[in-house]
Amino acid sequence: MALLEDRMSGGHPSNVHPRVELVKDAFATMAALDLNGYLMFFSDDVEHVLAPLPKITGKKSLRPALARGFRACVSGLTVSPLSVVQQGDSVISDRVDIAKLGPLWVRFRIKATMKFVDDKVVFWRDSIDYLSLIGWSLRGVVGILIPSLRPQPPATG
């Protein structure tokens, strides 16, 4: 049985479902920069969208696109889910990521929708909050000179 802390999201009980847990596990493999592990969550014919970029269809096409992003995060990636909820066959999430690109740390907020068939993701759409990306990127540049000002994950609790 999962601990109560595992069932909390932003101080409120989340609607814990197996697919919510799958998405949280996918986020953990993403944060570990484990490309092979991350791709295991997707169906072979997945449609992946990072708005406003064009849709990528199929796991074989998704692999090289994700590999570039994973390689760019040479210093690490922090993934902090703010909420993850299931509605029918879909999971909707709100998270904050910090991409650590050497000395430049960039924080951005992402809203995502994932659709499942047989516990495999068949559709994943990430929408980045570009205003937060711009603001936190500027702070990330300042953080190169003053590391204490680097973007940090949101406080939990």
Q: What is the CATH number of the domain that holds 81?
A: 3.10.450.50
Assess if residue 147 is contained within a domain.
Answer: no
Question: Is-contact 103 144, C-beta < 8 A?
Answer: yes
| Lowest mean pLDDT, pick from 11-15, 67-71, 91-95, 119-123 | 11-15
Q: What is the pTM of this model?
A: 0.82
Assess if residue 151 is contained within a domain.
Answer: no
Does 4 have pLDDT greater than 70?
no
Report pLDDT for 2. Answer: 38
Distance CA 18, CA 121 (A): 13
For the segment 98-147, what is each residue's pLDDT rounded down to a tens digit? 999 889 999 999 999 999 998 999 999 999 999 988 999 999 999 999 99
Task: State phi, psi for 123 to the nearest 5 degrees.
Answer: -150, 130
Distance CA 120, CA 47 (A): 12
Domain count, the chain: 1
Beta-bridge partner residues of 120: 117
Cα 137 from chain centroid (whole Å):
17
